[in-house]
Amino acid sequence: MKLQRVSGRAFARIAEGDSIYDGWGANQGFLTTREGNMVVDTGFTARAAKGLLHDVRAKSSAPIRLVVNSHDHSDHVFGNSVFGKVSSCIVAHANCRSRLLELGRERIVGYRNFDTRLRSALLGLRIHPAQLTYEDGMDFTLGETTVKLIHPKDGAHTTGDTMVLIPEEKVLFAGDVVWVDYHPNLEDANIEGWIRALEAISKMDVDYVVPGHGPVSDKSCVAPLARYLRDYDRRFRSLVRDGVPRQELAKELEIAGTDEWSLKMIVGRNVDALYERYRASEPSR
């Protein structure tokens, strides 16, 4: 992970690989203030979570007041238990907490059984859902800094996404609503809602967007992702309508301009996750 100052007091930890052992390239972030610090996402492995804690403490001796989970996917929340002991509170959208309660244990057991390297990377971690939840949106003040938690209400990357806006710093921690130069994970997506969420970001008064995966960017980074989602959705529909066999879909769904994007392995997984949904809505002829 590479620690980067995004603006005055907002920092990002940017992943340097996209393998399972790198948490598929999931980033984290944090904000420091005189009265305490806020962390956004806690990483997949014990090393990522402990590295994040180390970086926060290197930048500020104030306590960690709040940890925000951007959504329930393992690469963003498995580190929660490391922060359970050192922060006042973990906050998430209500759907993020309920999905983690429902699916988290099964997921962590599955990953522990993946191989011995991953088992040791996850050593000591346990599922630790948020204690504080919200439904529509939430503002809070830390030091003198206002922080806004924004939930795309129609669903975007998941049904429980949170984006963290720090207006004073003109920074948005977008979680997995934004992927830059990475193929996005679409398995829990509402693509129409997601495109609307990206349009909303493009209208925000922000200079920096920290994506869930990929480098820190400005808000122009949402356009290629919105294009990708539109193309993907349109093509998936027409391929299913034309009766193209499932095993050929990943190849047919290669979207122009994405050759250099990381996390190519997710393309096939997305097809597996979405195929039945598209087939139900677009019967083949």
- Give the x/- contact pattern for Zn ion in 163-202, rule: CB under 5 A: -------------x--------------------------
Shortest spacing between CB 281 and Zn ion, in angstroms: 23
CA pair distance 214, 92, nearest whole angstrom: 22
Q: How far is the CB of 158 from Zn ion (least distance, A)?
A: 7
163 φ/ψ angles, rounded to the nearest 5 degrees: -110, 145
Which CB, 108 or 244, lies closer to Zn ion?
108
Only one of the segments 29-37, 58-66, 68-76, 165-173 lies at the binding site for Zn ion (rule: CB under 5 A); that segment is: 68-76
Distance from chain centroid for Cα 37: 20
Name the minimum Å distance from CB 24 to Zn ion: 8
Q: Within a 10 A sphere around the Cβ of 144, how many other Cβ atoms? A: 9
Between 8 and 224, whose beta carbon lies closer to Zn ion?
224
Q: Rounded to whole angstroms, how far apart are CA atoms 224 and 241?
A: 26
Cβ-based neighbours of 273, under 8 Å, separated by 6 or more:
186, 187, 188
Residue nearest to Zn ion (CB): 73
Q: How far is the CB of 269 from Zn ion (least distance, A)?
A: 12
Stretch that binds Zn ion, among 13-21, 36-44, 66-74, 196-204 (CB under 5 A): 66-74
- CB-nearer residue toward Zn ion: 176 or 233: 176
Q: What residues are paired with 141 via a beta bridge?
A: 146
Q: How buried is 218 (Cβ within 10 angstroms: 0-12 exposed, 13-18 middle, 19+ buried)?
A: exposed
Q: Which of 9, 13, 47, 73 binds Zn ion (CB under 5 A)?
A: 73
CB of 26 to Zn ion, least distance (A): 8
How many binding residues for Zn ion (CB under 5 A)? 2
3-state SS, residue 239: helix
Q: What's the closest the beta carbon of residue 157 comes to Zn ion, in angstroms?
A: 6
Stretch that binds Zn ion, among 69-77, 111-119, 162-170, 254-262 (CB under 5 A): 69-77
Nearest distance in Å: CB 70, Zn ion? 8
| Nearest-angstrom CA–CA distance, 223 and 144 | 33
Q: Which of 214, 92, 103 is nearest to 162 (CA)?
A: 92
- Those residues whose C-beta lies under 8 Å from the C-beta of residue 211, and which sit 6 or more positions away, are 27, 174, 176, 178, 179, 180, 182, 217, 221
Where does this chain touch Zn ion (CB under 5 A) — which range of 67-75, 97-105, 203-211, 213-221?
A: 67-75
Q: Does 18 bind Zn ion (CB under 5 A)?
A: no
- Burial of 228-251, coded b for 16+ CB within 10 Å and e otherwise, reads bbeebbebbeebbeeebeeeebee
**Residue type for 213, please?**
H
Looking at the Cβ atoms of 167 and 224, the one nearer to Zn ion is 224
Q: Minimum CB separation from Zn ion for residue 43, in Å?
A: 12
Binding site for Zn ion (CB under 5 A): 73, 176
